[in-house]
Amino acid sequence: MLPAFVQPRLHPRANLVFLGTDQNAGAQMTDSGRFNPARDEVEDVSSVHLPDDDIHGFTVTESTPQGRDGSQSMLFDLGQIDVSWDESIDTLWAFMTPANRPNYNLPMLRDIRLWQTESKRLFDDGALPLKYMVLGSRFPGVFNLGGDLELFAACIERGDLPGLVKYGHACIDVVHRAWRNADMPLISVALAQGDALGGGFEALLCFDVVVAERSARFGLPEMLFGLFPGMGAYSILARKLGRRMAERMILSGKVYTAEEMYDMGIVTILAEDGEGEQAVRDYIRGNRPHHAGHVGVFEAGRRVDPLDYAELKDIVENWAATALKLDPKDLRLMRRLASAQTRLTK
């Protein structure tokens, strides 16, 4: 029997189509309809190339914003991330639309990297007067469940250290860029309308502002199968909460409620279920007059306690080496957890 926190659960909004409208502003969230398409997952880590900053041959489907009347237009669709632009609040909205399990499989990592680099290009070109970037998920009840456990197990079983390291590097490339807000003077907002576990929680920690609905859960359960979160959790939690608390959270494997995360200062805004998107809009509208000052505060924080890429690289390589020491019992549990994630898509 798997622990309760990894059992598939039916989310209260699981039967809703996420086309959430803002009745106050008249803005409509645009969904490409790519939720759970028939796409093959890429399982061979050596076959996937994550793009460099200069992305050649990448086509973006753009649409012209409809003016400052509250409308929102689809800007580009990356396969597993839908991106739309709301000119009325200078905000780029992105929602993960997982092709299969709601985790950081390699195609998802590739799409996140493309989202980061393409947004930066449009900002630098003057095409988008970006002030806020929001990342959420269209998967009911889940923000993200973390690393690709099937890929981990396959690499471990064949003793593939380079494969684990390559996957880890792909993760920290995204994490480090997210921590820096892709080198843009803006405020990043994570919208958790469901569970953020393992690497999903690690990613969420990179954002300046975290808006969470009450039913969302957060935690680092890797100790359950003898591993530790290696893609930034210790580094970022130690900076936000101190090393002692970071170690307590990692070693316990405890899963926290959104309210507990709010009390600890990880969650910035606590919203009622179904009201997360509106809470983000309210935050942005209320704080836009002070945008420059807020950006300055968050940038000062990163300067006071910078997150060095070399630190992330050393830790993720330690993580990969540790993974190869797991015993068959740990691998069986890892695969059972992956199967539990898969059942969420049925």
pTM of the prediction?
A: 0.81
Q: pLDDT value at position 261?
A: 98
Amino acid 341: pLDDT? 82
Residue 50 CB neighbour total at 10 angstroms: 15
> In this structure, what are the phi and psi dihedrals at residue 144, rounded to the nearest 5 degrees?
-165, 140
DSSP string across 111-165: HHHHHHHHHHHHHHTTS----EEEEEE-STTEEE--B-HHHHHHHHHTT-HHHHH
Q: How far is CA 238 from the centre of its chain?
A: 19
Angle, CA 319 vertex, CA 313 and CA 322 arms, to 5°? 145
User: d(Cα 211, Cα 270) in Å, to the nearest integer?
Assistant: 6
* 27 is a domain residue: no
Q: Is residue 75 part of a domain?
A: yes
- CATH number, domain of 73, equals 3.90.226.10
SS3 (DSSP) at 242: coil
Residue 161 lies in a domain: yes
Per residue in 54-67, pLDDT (tens digit) is: 333 333 334 333 33
Q: List alpha helices for 144-232, DSSP H.
A: 149-157, 161-179, 199-204
- Tokens 């990297």 belong to which residue? 113
Residue 302 and residue 180 in contact, taking contact as beta carbons nearer than 8 Å: yes
Tell me which residue has tokens 């003898």: 226
User: H/E/C letters for each residue in 45-74?
Assistant: HHHCCCCCCCCCCCCCCCCCCCCCCCCCEE
Per the listing, tokens 């820096």 go with 180
d(CA 127, CA 88): 15
pLDDT score of 186: 98
Residues contacting 4, CB < 8 A, separation 6+: none
Write the Ramachandran bin of 58: left for phi over 0, alpha for psi from -120 to 50, otherwise beta.
beta
User: Considering the domain boundaries, does residue 46 fall inside one?
Assistant: no
Q: How many domains does the chain have?
A: 1
- Evaluate whether residue 114 is within a structural domain: yes
Q: How far apart are CA 4 and CA 123, in angstroms?
A: 43
Q: What is the pLDDT of residue 121?
A: 92
Looking at the DSSP assignment, which residues form a beta bridge with residue 135?
Answer: 94, 190
- Residue type (1 letter), 150: E
- Give the closest residue to 339 by CA, choosing from 168, 200, 149: 149
In a domain, 33, yes or no: no
> What is the spatial distance between Cα 236 and Cα 214, in angstroms, rounded to a whole number?
23
**Assigned token pair, 345:** 């898509």
Print pLDDT tens along the chain (346 aa): 444 444 434 333 332 222 233 333 333 333 333 323 233 333 344 444 444 433 333 333 343 333 344 455 566 668 899 999 999 999 999 999 998 899 999 999 999 999 999 999 999 999 889 999 999 999 999 999 999 999 999 999 999 999 999 999 999 999 999 999 999 999 999 999 999 999 999 999 999 999 999 999 999 999 999 999 999 999 999 999 999 999 999 999 999 999 999 999 999 999 999 999 999 999 999 999 999 999 999 999 999 999 999 999 999 999 999 999 999 999 999 999 988 888 877 6
Q: Is residue 113 within 8 Å of residue 94, measured between CB atoms?
A: no
Measured at the CA of 18, the angle between CA 17 and CA 22, to 5 degrees, comes to 125
Strands 217-219 and 255-257, by their bridges, are antiparallel
User: What local confidence, expressed as pLDDT, does residue 72 receive?
Assistant: 56
Q: How far is Cα 237 from Cα 250, in angstroms, rounded to an integer?
A: 10
Q: How many alpha carbons lie under 13 Å from residue 55 in its C-beta half-sphere?
A: 19
Per-residue model confidence (pLDDT) at position 344: 79
CA 288/CA 276 separation, integer angstroms: 18
Residue matched to tokens 């780029």: 92
Could you tell me the residue range of the domain that residue 325 belongs to?
Answer: 58-343
Would you say residue 53 lies in a domain?
A: no
pLDDT value at position 76? Answer: 63
